[in-house]
Structure 1
Amino acid sequence: MNARPTVKERRYSPWVFVWTFLILCVLAGGQALILAEYARIDKLPLPFILGMTGYWVIVAAVMSAVTYRQIRRRVKPMEEFAEASRQVAAGDFSVWLEPRHLEGSRQWDSIDQMYADFNTMVEELGSVEMLKDDFVSNVSHEIKTPLSIIQSYAALLERPDLSEEQRIEYAHTVVVASKRLSTLVSNVLRLSRMEAAGAHAQVDDYDLARQLADVVLGMGDLFDAKGIEFDVDIEDRVLVHADAGMMEIVWSNVLSNALKFTPSGGRVSLTQTSDERSATVTVDDTGCGMTASEAMHAFDKFYQGDTSHASEGNGLGLAMTKRAVELCGGDIAIASEPGRGTTVTVRVPVAR
Structure 2
Amino acid sequence: MKNKSLFQRYFYICFTMILLSMFILGAIFLVFASQYFKEDKYTLLSQNLDQAADLTVDCMIQIGGVVHITSNVENYYNTIGESIGADIYLADMRDGRILYSGGAGGSEHQLEYVPMSVMESFRTKAVYTETGRMKGLYESAHYTVGKPILSPGNRVICAVFASTSASALSTFLVDIFQMFVLSAVVVMILASIIIYFVTSNMIRPLRQMLVATGSFARGDFSIRVPVEGDDEVSMLAAAFNAMASSLATLEQSRRSFTANVSHELKTPMTTIGGFIDGILDGTIPPEKQNYYLQIVSTEVKRLSRMVRAMLNLSRIEAGELKINPEPVEITDIVTRTTLMFEKPLTDKNIEVRGLDTEKRMVEADPDMIQQVVYNLIENAVKFVNPGGYLEFRYWEEGDRTLVAVRNSGEGIQSEELNRVFDRFYKSDKSRSKDKSGVGLGLYIVRTIINLHGGEIFIRSEVGQYTEFVFSLTTCPQKKQPRFRKAEKENLPSQKTE
- Normalised TM-score (structure 1): 0.70
The one-letter amino acid paired with 2:404 is T
Does the aligned pair in 2 maintain the 1:227–1:264 contact within 8 Å? yes
Give the CA deviation at 1:206. Answer: 2.8
* Pairing partner for 2:443 from 319, 326, 341: 319
Cα-to-partner distance string for 1:90-141 (whole Å, 9 max, x where unaligned): 4557453655xx54xxxxxxxx2x2133124313321332233123212211
Of residues 132, 140, 150, the one that matches 2:258 is 140
User: In the alignment, is the contact (CA less than 8 A) between 1:258 and 1:287 conserved in 2?
Assistant: no
The whole-number CA distance in structure 1 between the counterparts of 2:335 and 2:403 is 12
8 Å contact from structure 2 (residues 380, 407) kept in 1: yes
CA distance in 2, matches of 1:288, 1:88: 42
Mapped to 1, the partners of 2:392 and 2:357 lie a distance apart of: 11
- Identify the residue that residue 389 of structure 2 maps to in structure 1: 267
The structure that is strand-richer by fraction is: 2
- Map 1:88-99 onto structure 2 (within 5 A): 90=214, 92=216, 94=223, 96=225, 98-99=227-228
1:162-311 matched pairs, under 5 angstroms: 162-164=283-285, 176-197=298-319, 200-220=322-342, 222-233=344-355, 235-300=357-422, 301-304=424-427, 305-311=429-435
1:218 Cα offset (Å) = 3.8
Higher alpha-carbon deviation: 327-336 or 208-217: 208-217
Higher RCO (CA 8 Å, separation ≥ 6 residues): 1
Note closer, same or farther for the CA distance 1:177–1:120 as it changes in structure 2 (3 Å cut): farther
Residue 282 of structure 1 and its aligned partner are, at CA, apart by 1.6
Ranges in structure 1 where 5+ consecutive residues have no aligned partner: 1-11, 104-111
Deviation of 1:309 (Å): 0.5
Report how far residue 316 of structure 1 moved. 2.0
Paired residue type of 1:186: R
What amino acid does structure 2 have at the position aligned with 1:135? S
Q: Which amino acid aligns with 2:283?
A: L
Deviation digits for residues 291-327 of structure 1, max 9, x if unmatched? 3334443223331333331314322222222222222
Aligned with 2:273 (options 154, 160, 176): 154
Deviates most, 28-37 or 177-186: 28-37
Instruction: Provide, for residues 247-297 of structure 1, a one-character-per-residue CA deviation record: whole Å limited to 9, x for no partner.
Output: 211111111122222244322121222243211112222233333334443
Distance 1:295 1:65, change over 3 A: closer
CA contact (8 A) 2:209 2:225 kept: no
Q: CA deviation at 1:232?
A: 2.4
2: CA distance, partners of 1:234 / 1:117: 55
Deviation for aligned residue 1:171:
6.3
Contact 2:26 2:180 in 1 (8 A): no
1:311 and 1:84, CA in 2 relative to 1: closer, same or farther beyond 3 A?
Answer: same
Identity %: 20
- Please say which of residues 181-190 and 68-77 is displaced more in the overlay: 68-77
- Among 431, 448, 453, which residue is 1:329 paired with? 453
Distance in 2 between residues matched to 1:215 and 1:295, nearest whole Å: 25
Which residue number corresponds to residue 247 of structure 2? Answer: 129
Measure, in 1, the Cα distance between the counterparts of 2:337 and 2:272: 35
Q: Partner amino acid for 1:185?
A: V
Structure 1 distance, partners of 2:288, 2:252, is 38
Cα gap change, 1:281 to 1:85, in 2 (>3 Å): same
Match of 2:234 in 1: 116
Distance of 1:246 and 1:185 partners within structure 2: 17
Are the counterparts in 1 of residues 388 and 409 from structure 2 also a CA contact under 8 Å? yes
Structure 2 residue identity aligned to 1:154 = G
Structure-2 residue corresponding to 1:340: 464
Tell me by how many angstroms 1:208 deviates. Answer: 2.1
Amino acid at match of 1:286: S
Alpha carbons of structure 1 residues 72 and 243: separation in structure 2 relative to 1, 3 Å: farther
Aligned residues of 1:288 and 1:339 also touching (Cα < 8 A)? yes
CA–CA distance in 1 between the matches of 2:226 and 2:206? 11
Check conservation: 1:277, 1:349, Cα contact below 8 A: yes
Alpha-carbon spacing, 1:74–1:20, altered in 2? closer, same or farther (3 Å): farther
Does the C-alpha gap of structure 1 residues 91 and 188 become closer, same or farther in structure 2, counting only changes over 3 Å? farther
In structure 2, what is the Cα distance between the partners aligned to 1:337 and 1:264? 18
Q: Tell me the SS of whatever aligns to 1:306.
A: helix
Structure 2 residue runs of 5 or longer lacking an equivalent are: 1-13, 42-83, 86-103, 105-164, 477-497
**Is the CA contact 2:449–2:456 (under 8 Å) kept in the aligned structure 1?**
yes
2: CA distance, partners of 1:31 / 1:276: 79
Deviation per CA, 1:54-105, whole angstroms, max 9, x where unpaired?
Answer: 4564355356447756866886677457645644654557453655xx54xx
TM-score, normalization by structure 2 = 0.52
SS of residue in 1 equivalent to 2:438: coil
Higher radius of gyration, 1 or 2: 2
Contact 1:195–1:323 (8 Å) recurs in 2: no
Task: Kindly indicate whether the alpha-carbon contact (under 8 Å) linking 2:261 and 2:438 is maintained by their aligned counterparts in 1.
Answer: no
Pair 197,75 (structure 1): closer, same or farther in 2 beyond 3 Å: farther
DSSP 3-state at the match of 1:311: coil
The 1:169–1:302 alpha-carbon spacing in structure 2 relative to 1, beyond 3 Å, is farther
| Aligned residues of 2:30 and 2:173 also touching (Cα < 8 A) | no
Q: Which structure has more helix as a fraction of its residues? A: 1
Cα root mean square deviation, aligned:
4.5
